[in-house]
Amino acid sequence: MSAGPEWTRYRRVSDLGVEVLGAHFVQHVYHRHSHDSYSFGYTEDGAQAFRCRGGAHLSTTGLAMAFNPDDPHDGHTGTPSGFTYRMVHVDPGQVRAALAEAGYKSALPLFTDPVISDPELVNRIRRATDRVLAGTDPLATQEAIDAMLLAAIRRHARSRPPVAGRAGLSNAPVARVRDLLHDRYREDLRAEDLAAAAGCSRFQVYREFQARYGMAPSTYLRQVRLRAARRLLAAGEPPAQAAVAAGFADQAHLTRWFRRAYGITPAVYQRSV
């Protein structure tokens, strides 16, 4: 990795209580500070050194980080070429709400190790930060954030709230969620919309829908949108208009997912029809 110019990417989603920072630093030094949020991150490249909880730590490529609210820490590069990293800050109220939705009692978790070797958690953080920075698909964004939080808490929190008893959903609530995805696929549906339709928590919706249909609600929604786009393309609708009409953010998003699902672009599909 070359030192290169320093850069940052930042996005805040207020209704989800999260903010994401991606950055590459060489000379930048963080003065000692703290956040009023939980913070989870990973080092994409290089190494960053910091002091936290009375000790010195080094996060190198592929390692995760976890900070509790009000954990004082600083930070600077640990290599001459700098470091690249991502960090997602989550409001404690959102963490508490996520735990309640997942069936946990209200106690907040405590993380004791600020640097964690856990490739699975790194993948969860990467997916969550990708979703937030993309600024699209609020349902998939909520799912990714929830999955990241639960993975971090279950695998690395010293104190974990006990899980309350949980029962599975009947067929009817899950079917109502499926109908909602078909009826309102053009809209920016959120996890709360699905939970309201099913009459249960968003975590229970995710778990039961995944078990029933073999995919997350956000993945199923994208499949519905792709099928709608195929119908529109077959009817002669221009790809850009078909994308918006089917619920995609724009033609580029449709093209990317169309190719992933069908191995060809919308233009190729339309010409073949």
Domain of 11: which CATH number? Answer: 2.60.120.10
The pTM for the full model equals: 0.77
- Name the residue range of residue 255's domain: 227-272
- Name the strand (E) or helix (H) holding 197: helix 191-198
155 with 112, same domain: the answer is yes
Torsion angles phi and psi, residue 9, rounded to 5: -130, 135
CA distances from 23 to 17, 26, 70, 128, 242 (A): 20, 10, 22, 16, 35
Same domain, 15 and 137: yes
* 264 and 131 part of one domain: no
- For tokens 């820490």, name the residue: 73
Question: Do residues 112 and 203 share a domain?
Answer: no
Q: Are residues 27 and 145 in the same domain?
A: yes
Same domain membership, residue 154 and residue 37: yes
Average pLDDT rounded to a whole number, residues 101-121: 88
- Based on DSSP, count helices (H) and strands (E) in the chain, helices before strands: 10, 11
CB 32 within 8 A of CB 50: no
Question: Is residue 165 in some structural domain?
Answer: no
The CATH number covering residue 200 comes to: 1.10.10
Is pLDDT larger for residue 214 or for residue 157? 157
pLDDT digits (tens, 9 = 90+) for 28-42: 989 888 888 999 999
Give CA angle at 106 (199, 114), nearest 5°.
120
Assigned domain for 164 exists: no
The DSSP annotation for 217-250 comes to HHHHHHHHHHHHHHHHHHTT--HHHHHHHTT-SS
- CATH for 254: 1.10.10.60
Confidence of residue 158 (pLDDT cuts 50, 70, 90): confident
User: Per-residue confidence at 1, pLDDT binned at 50, 70, 90?
Assistant: very low
- 42 shares its domain with 126: yes
Average pLDDT in the 155-166 region? 67
Residue 75 near residue 50 (C-beta atoms within 8 A): yes
pLDDT of 246 over the 50 cut? yes
Residue 40, C-beta contacts closer than 8 angstroms, at least 6 positions apart:
64, 65, 66, 67, 87, 88, 90, 121, 125, 148, 152
**86 and 50 in a common domain:** yes
Higher pLDDT residue, 165 or 124?
Answer: 124
What's the rounded mean pLDDT across residues 198-226? Answer: 89
On the question of pLDDT at 164 being above 70, the answer is no
Q: Scan for tokens 């994409």, then name that residue.
A: 44
